[in-house]
Amino acid sequence: EAQVTQNPRYLITVTGKKLTVTCSQNMNHEYMSWYRQDPGLGLRQIYYSMNVEVTDKGDVPEGYKVSRKEKRNFPLILESPSPNQTSLYFCASSPTTGMAHEKNIQYFGAGTRLSVL
């Protein structure tokens, strides 16, 4: 089954304790992205990757890191989490890096709810 898998689904941590949220897709997609969802703000892009070893900042990258060492995996790293990073996080992937192709839709994981105390 084609899917985007995020782990963990729920995470409670304390300020300053490094954490990693994993994301894996089994569709051989080039493009992967992380979003955070906050009430009243919708989804905002944190980082994206157009292919292996190619990553770039989205709209709200402060406090986050990513890596893309393999095509299928795109982990999100919070090296020193703070309470303002309490949010619902989504990983997404799409087949290509250009928007013009009609098959270029984004598939989303089920989300990771993070609480930073």
Q: Using CB under 8 A as the criterion, which residues of the chain lie in contact with other proteins when the complex forms?
A: 4, 31, 33, 35, 40-45, 48, 50, 56, 58, 90, 92, 94, 96-100, 102, 104-111
Tell me the C-alpha to C-alpha distance, in Å, between residue 30 and each of 10, 16, 64, 71. 27, 32, 21, 7
**DSSP code of residue 87:** E
Q: Are strands 112-116 and 10-13 parallel, antiparallel or unpaired?
A: parallel
Spatial CB neighbours of 83, under 8 Å, sequence gap ≥ 6: 15, 116, 117
Residue 87 Cβ, how far from other proteins at the closest point, in Å? 14
Q: Which is nearer to other proteins, 78 or 91 (CB)?
A: 91
Q: Which is nearer to other proteins, 71 or 107 (CB)?
A: 107
Residue 74 Cβ, how far from other proteins at the closest point, in Å? 13
Q: Which is nearer to other proteins, 80 or 99 (CB)?
A: 99
